[in-house]
């Protein structure tokens, strides 16, 4: 629909998983998992509603793995500040859009990642990134930046405030495939 789906497709295909660009609700029937990419959250939500995908995405999320990055996190969240469109409400977090500022305040820095009992640093690309301002009881924090949650998981959902697809590191996509798919 909109966003950096091509970069996600490159990463998952490099990891041996076939990627399909999903543009209609009927395509949800032929996939096993979904990544909602970064992009413009307002545009993504408007397109979801324009193409009557909201209810089908919510149903899909009940039994399939979902990953969202940046705008994808915003779209899946239960509450979002500074957003007129209603998010999908799939992940019990509140987020603040563009929390670090405008495009010129975008940055790259190291993120503390804790997966499978191992802690290490990976590169975080923050482009007009959101911040998670509230985390529900069933949501786990898997990565932090300056002690703030930047990668969270709950049930079958994995969501990042940054863009892991824009680095050469595959840790997060590999984790999504191995743990969720």
Identify the active-site residue in 13, 21, 85, 165: 165
Identify the active-site residue in 8, 70, 169, 173: 70
CB count within 10 Å of CB 104 equals: 7
Nearest to 142 by CA among 125, 127, 157, 126: 157
What are the C-alpha distances in Å from 86 to residues 16, 32, 82, 102, 158?
Answer: 35, 25, 11, 22, 20
Active site residue 165: yes
Give 128-159 as a DSSP string.
S--EEEEE-TTPEEEEEETTEEEEEEETTEEE
Identify the active-site residue in 8, 96, 163, 169: 163
Active site residue 13: no
Active site residue 70: yes
- In terms of residues, how long is the chain? 181
Distance CA 74, CA 129 (A): 10
Residues classed as catalytic: 70, 163, 165
């Amino acid at each position: 629909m909109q966003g950096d789906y091509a970069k996600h497709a490159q990463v998952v295909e490099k990891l041996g998983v076939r990627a399909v660009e999903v543009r209609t609700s009927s395509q949800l029937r032929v996939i096993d998992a979904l990544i909602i990419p970064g992009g413009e959250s307002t545009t993504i939500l408007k397109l979801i509603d324009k193409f009557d995908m909201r209810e089908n995405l919510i149903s899909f999320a009940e039994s399939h793995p979902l990953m969202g990055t940046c705008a994808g996190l915003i779209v899946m969240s239960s509450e979002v500040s500074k957003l007129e469109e209603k998010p999908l409400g799939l992940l019990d977090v509140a987020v603040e859009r563009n929390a670090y500022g405008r495009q010129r305040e975008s940055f790259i820095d190291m993120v503390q990642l804790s997966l499978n009992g191992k802690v290490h640093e990976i590169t975080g690309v923050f482009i007009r990134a959101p911040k998670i301002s509230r985390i529900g009881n069933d949501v786990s924090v898997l990565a932090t930046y300056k002690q703030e949650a930047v990668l969270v998981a709950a049930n079958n959902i994995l969501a990042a405030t940054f863009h892991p697809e824009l680095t050469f590191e595959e840790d997060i996509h590999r984790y999504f495939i191995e743990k969720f798919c």
